[in-house]
């Protein structure tokens, strides 16, 4: 499509449920203060596990958003998705009705779906037999039920999709929603990511991969992206839904605009099931593709919300990828990993971090990378260490890289009604 004919896409509502709290203001204030949402696992007895800490959602009461009758039919990830969507719709003062409904859709990313439900009903099957399995078992666990339920609750009759690309799912969902609006397939999209897999099987599985931090005695210091002493990521849960809207529609209804999305890039490593491609080659291509889609030069970017998982190779190779794409300008960038406070939300990470990046532009403040205490010679960029920073930010990126070598990058611009 000719660049001049692209429709502009803005963010007009944000809903977040995360280890830092419920809603925009709780999340933002915790981010800026550098507070950690990571602590001991309380959902099950983790005393025999190698890792006994996680980023559980904070202050979340599902019954505040969903009736008790409906809650019984929902896995935790569905509860989070519906709550985040309701928060976004309320924040954006959006009511989907009439002819608008056909042009309003939902795309949500999710990595593993209803793992809690799978574990629960597998036990029921073994203990009591197949006749005790609920008819809601399958609907409770499939990933596409999150966008499905959101569309049902809010009357969105446009495109309805689920993206399941591991840790890049939320970013890919937002990117696809952006392209749908930009290219005329929809006018409004509710999009983002959701995940809830802090379960015995989830923790045991990542422990078997030796992927998780074992810093159990200092939970708040366990996630330490780019730090020399990082020892793995911290499993988190949560979700974010953003309202993406065609600019003219948003202006017509006098919506509050947080930021503009101007580009999306994706790539595949074609290398390994779990490890990133050497030197971040795939991540570099992804960021390059996103900048090309946005039509901006590398030196126009001021900030990157990094994937920054706190794992050895990811942090090293993402740093190398940034240097490959940005050259000397890489030293001028603020690069922070909000996973240092939330943990790694898997399929929800890209959605939550897209929300945080939009807020970074809206409020002209870079969140910190917490626990950056011992510099790693291989990680030598400005990671906004340990303290939030006021800064003039016009263009920002958000990165997500997932198992299977799937990569996604979003490009955001500070909101301005002008067309550059």
Mean pLDDT throughout 375-388?
97
Instruction: Read off the pLDDT band of 346 (50, 70, 90).
Output: very high
| Tokens 């593709």, residue located | 289
CB 6 within 8 A of CB 257: no
Question: Hey, is 18 helix, strand or coil?
Answer: strand
| Tokens 């993406």, residue located | 244
Active-site annotation holder among 154, 286, 344, 379: 344
Structural tokens at position 312: 């050895």
CB 305 within 8 A of CB 404: no
CB 154 within 8 A of CB 101: no
* Residues 6 or more apart in contact with residue 140 via CB below 8 angstroms: 73, 74, 75, 78, 114, 117, 134
Active-site annotation holder among 167, 179, 286, 379: 167
The per-residue pLDDT for 136 is 95
Residue from 82, 51, 22, 33 nearest 235 by CA: 51
The per-residue pLDDT for 416 is 84
Global confidence as pTM: 0.97
Lowest mean pLDDT among 3-7, 295-299, 391-395: 3-7
CB 111 within 8 A of CB 198: no
What is the residue-averaged pLDDT of the chain?
96
Q: Check if 344 is active-site.
A: yes
Residue from 284, 402, 412, 288 nearest 356 by CA: 412
The per-residue pLDDT for 5 is 73
Q: Check if 329 is active-site.
A: no
Q: Which domains does the chain possess?
A: 3-252 (3.40.47.10), 262-414 (3.40.47.10)
Q: pLDDT, tens digit, for every residue of 38-95?
A: 999 999 999 999 999 999 999 999 999 999 999 999 999 999 999 999 999 999 999 9
Active-site annotation holder among 154, 172, 179, 307: 307
Q: pLDDT, tens digit, for every residue of 222-271?
A: 999 999 999 999 999 999 999 999 999 999 999 999 999 999 999 999 99
CA atoms within 13 A on the CB side of 125: 10
Q: pLDDT, tens digit, for every residue of 96-119?
A: 999 999 999 999 999 999 999 999
The per-residue pLDDT for 239 is 98
The residues facing 390 across adjacent strands are 365
């Amino acid at each position: 499509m000719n660049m001049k004919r692209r429709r502009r896409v803005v963010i007009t509502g944000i809903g977040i449920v995360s280890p830092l709290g419920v809603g925009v203001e709780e999340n933002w204030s915790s981010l800026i203060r550098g507070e950690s949402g990571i602590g001991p696992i309380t959902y099950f007895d983790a005393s025999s596990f190698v890792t006994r800490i996680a980023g559980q959602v904070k202050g979340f009461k599902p019954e505040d958003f969903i009736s008790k009758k409906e809650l019984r039919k929902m896995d935790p990830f569905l509860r989070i998705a519906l709550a985040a969507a309701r928060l976004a719709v309320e924040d954006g003062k959006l009511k989907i009705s009439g002819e608008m409904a056909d042009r309003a859709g939902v795309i949500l990313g999710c990595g593993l779906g209803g793992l809690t439900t799978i574990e629960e009903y597998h036990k029921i099957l073994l203990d009591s037999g197949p006749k005790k399995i609920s008819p809601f078992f399958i609907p409770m666990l499939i990933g596409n039920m999150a966008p499905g339920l959101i569309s049902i609750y809010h009357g969105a009759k446009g495109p309805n999709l689920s993206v399941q690309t591991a840790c890049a799912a939320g970013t890919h969902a937002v990117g696809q929603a952006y392209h749908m609006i930009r290219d005329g397939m929809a006018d409004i999209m509710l999009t983002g990511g959701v995940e809830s897999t802090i379960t015995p099987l989830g923790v045991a599985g990542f422990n078997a991969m030796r992927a998780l931090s074992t810093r159990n005695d200092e939970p708040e210091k366990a996630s330490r992206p780019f730090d020399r002493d990082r020892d793995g990521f911290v499993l988190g849960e949560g979700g974010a839904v953003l309202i993406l809207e065609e600019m003219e529609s948003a202006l017509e209804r006098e919506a509050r605009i947080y930021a503009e999305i101007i580009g999306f890039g994706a790539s595949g490593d074609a290398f390994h099931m779990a490890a990133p491609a050497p030197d971040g080659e795939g991540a570099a291509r992804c960021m390059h593709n996103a900048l090309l889609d946005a039509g901006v030069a590398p030196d126009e970017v001021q900030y990157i919300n990094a994937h920054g998982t706190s794992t050895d190779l990811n942090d090293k190779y993402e740093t190398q990828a940034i240097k490959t794409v940005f050259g000397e300008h890489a030293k001028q960038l603020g690069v922070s990993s909000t996973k240092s406070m939330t943990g790694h939300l898997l399929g929800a990470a890209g959605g939550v971090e897209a929300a945080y990046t939009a807020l970074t532009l809206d409020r002209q403040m870079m969140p910190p990378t917490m626990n950056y205490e011992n510099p790693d010679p291989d990680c030598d960029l400005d990671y906004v260490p340990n303290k939030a920073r006021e800064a003039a930010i016009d263009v920002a990126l958000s990165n997500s890289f997932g198992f299977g070598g799937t990569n996604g990058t979003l490009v955001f611009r500070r909101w301005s009604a002008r067309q550059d």
